[in-house]
């Protein structure tokens, strides 16, 4: 019988304080093989601190991390075999060329990494600037070089912290295409971002972190499904329609938004409402279900429990 595959990332109870502020407060993270896992949270929520702990750069005060079953706190560098990525902006030696920087990192990786340098420069479209010093690179070029540096390790798990930071719209599109392609090839990707559209486009599962605590972890589809169904109504007489809505059973959070009435309700209550509106002599101009956006869910999760407490990133 096949042994179950080790989880790419398994973090349990990770905790880290900076002074009296809890940057990360007992978080659990579970990334399954082939996940494109979005790690989402406002700036300062603790995303980068958590990623640093995964990569063995920070020691958690409490909790454990396993990458493919190995502990990066005690088994470095072996625990990073098959793992690559960067936290915050990738940094390089400004007095070395892009190619030399990759050659240095490839030497530090060992194995066949050195043979991949040229192909990866090509992949991130830096071949023409490969022999220029990195000091003259734009932030977008450094970001692309960071991706190439990560792929040198031929990783099974790629950890990327805000990978589209500093990229122009074309660069953002190319980066997202690349991530999609790598995921399609079977790579597990853990992607931190505060860009909701990016996570929505790329990720299958998410963890949402707020003030150092995970407030949601699971599939994006389940997160959306967990939201109460919401509807927008426009009728020929707004005030009369509003009155009908208020006395209709099963409607909640009824509110006026300009010419529209918004509410949450289950389908059967909406069907009963449409009959009541017609019986009241009203014409229905629009009765539209609204899918909860990740944005609305994100704000609900990260702001609902009062003012978020800012923690170190």
Partner 1 sequence: MRPTTLTAYRWELRKLLSQKRTYIGIGASALLPVLFVVVMALQKGGPYDAPLGHNLRQTGIVLALVVLTFASRFGAQLVTALVAGDVVATEDSGGTLKMILTRSLTRRQILAGKTLATFTYVLALLAALLSTGLVSGLIAWGFNPVIDLSHVRLSAVHALGLTVGALALFAVPLIAIAAFGIFLSALTHNSAAAIVGTLVYELVQEATAGLVHLSFFKHYLLSDQFDGWHGLFQSPIYWTPVVRALWVSAIFAAVPLAIAFAIFRRRDVAGE
* φ/ψ of residue 200, rounded to 5: -60, -40
Please identify, using beta-carbon distances, which residue of 105 and 179 lies nearer to partner 1.
105
Tokens found for residue 100: 């030399």
Q: How far apart are CA 152 and CA 119, in angstroms?
A: 10
Write each residue from 72 to 101 as x if it is in contact with partner 1 (CB under 8 A), else as -, in one continuous string.
----xx--xx-xxxxxxxxxxxxxx---x-
The reply on whether position 299 binds partner 1 by CB under 8 A is no
Distance CA 188, CA 163 (A): 15
Q: Among 47, 52, 116, 213, which residue sits at the site for partner 1 (rule: CB under 8 A)?
A: 52
Comparison of 111 and 218: residue with beta carbon closer to partner 1: 111
6: helix, strand or coil: coil
CA distances in angstroms from 193 to 144, 164, 265, listed in the order given? 17, 9, 32
**Pair of tokens at residue 279:** 């019986």
Identify which of residues 58 and 270 has a Cβ nearer to partner 1 in the complex. Answer: 58
Q: Is the peptide bond before 209 cis (omega within 30 degrees of 0)?
A: no
CA 182 to CA 86: how far, in whole Å?
Answer: 16
* Least distance between partner 1 and beta carbon 99 (Å): 13
For the bound state, the minimum distance from the C-beta of residue 109 to partner 1, rounded and expressed in Å, comes to: 5
Provide the minimum distance between the beta carbon of 104 and partner 1 in the complex, in angstroms, as a whole number. 5
Is 135 a binding residue for partner 1 by CB under 8 A? The answer is: no
110 binds partner 1 (CB under 8 A): yes
CA 196 to chain centre: 7
| Least Å from the CB of residue 64 to partner 1 | 17
Window 173-212: contact mask with partner 1 (x via CB under 8 A):
----------------------------------------
Q: Which neighbouring-strand residues pair with 214?
A: 209
Please tell me the count of residues contacting partner 1 according to CB under 8 A: 34
- End-to-end Cα distance, the chain: 43
CB of 295 to partner 1, least distance (A): 29
Q: Cβ(182)–Cβ(212) under 8 Å?
A: no
Beta sheet of 157-161, edge-to-edge order = 83-86, 157-161, 188-193, 36-40, 205-210, 213-219
CB of 118 to partner 1, least distance (A): 19
Told to check if 137 binds partner 1 by CB under 8 A, we report: no
Instruction: Closer to partner 1 by CB, 43 or 89: give it.
Output: 89
Please report, as ranges, the residues that interact with partner 1 according to CB under 8 A.
Answer: 52, 55-59, 76-77, 80-81, 83-96, 100, 104-105, 107-111, 149, 153
């Amino acid at each position: 019988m096949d042994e179950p595959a080790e989880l790419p990332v398994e973090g349990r109870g990770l905790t880290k304080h900076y002074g009296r502020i809890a940057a990360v407060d007992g978080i659990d993270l579970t990334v399954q093989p082939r996940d494109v896992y979005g790690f989402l949270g406002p700036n300062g929520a603790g995303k980068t601190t958590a990623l640093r702990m995964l990569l063995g750069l920070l020691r958690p005060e409490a909790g454990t991390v396993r990458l493919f079953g190995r502990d990066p706190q005690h088994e470095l560098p072996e625990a990073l075999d098959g793992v690559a990525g960067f936290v915050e902006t990738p940094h390089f030696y400004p007095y070395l060329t892009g190619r030399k920087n990759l050659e240095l990192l490839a030497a530090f990786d060992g194995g066949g990494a050195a043979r991949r340098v040229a192909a990866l420069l090509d992949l991130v479209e830096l071949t023409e600037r490969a022999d220029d010093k990195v000091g003259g690179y734009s932030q977008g070029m450094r970001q692309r070089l960071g991706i190439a540096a990560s792929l040198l390790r031929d990783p099974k798990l790629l950890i990327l912290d805000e990978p589209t930071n500093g990229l122009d719209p074309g660069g953002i599109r190319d980066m997202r295409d690349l991530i999609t392609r790598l995921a399609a090839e079977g790579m597990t990707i853990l992607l931190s971002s505060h860009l909701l559209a990016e996570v929505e486009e790329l990720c299958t599962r998410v963890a949402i972190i707020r003030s150092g605590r995970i407030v949601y972890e699971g599939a994006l589809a389940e997160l959306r499904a967990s939201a109460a169904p919401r509807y927008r109504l426009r009728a020929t007489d707004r005030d009369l329609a509003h009155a009908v809505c208020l006395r209709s059973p099963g409607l909640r959070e009824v509110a006026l938004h300009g010419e529209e009435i918004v509410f949450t309700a289950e389908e059967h209550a909406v069907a009963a409402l449409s009959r009541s509106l017609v019986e009241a002599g009203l014409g229905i101009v629009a009765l539209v279900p609204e899918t909860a956006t990740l944005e609305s869910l994100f704000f609900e999760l990260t702001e609902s429990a009062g003012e978020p407490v800012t923690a170190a990133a």
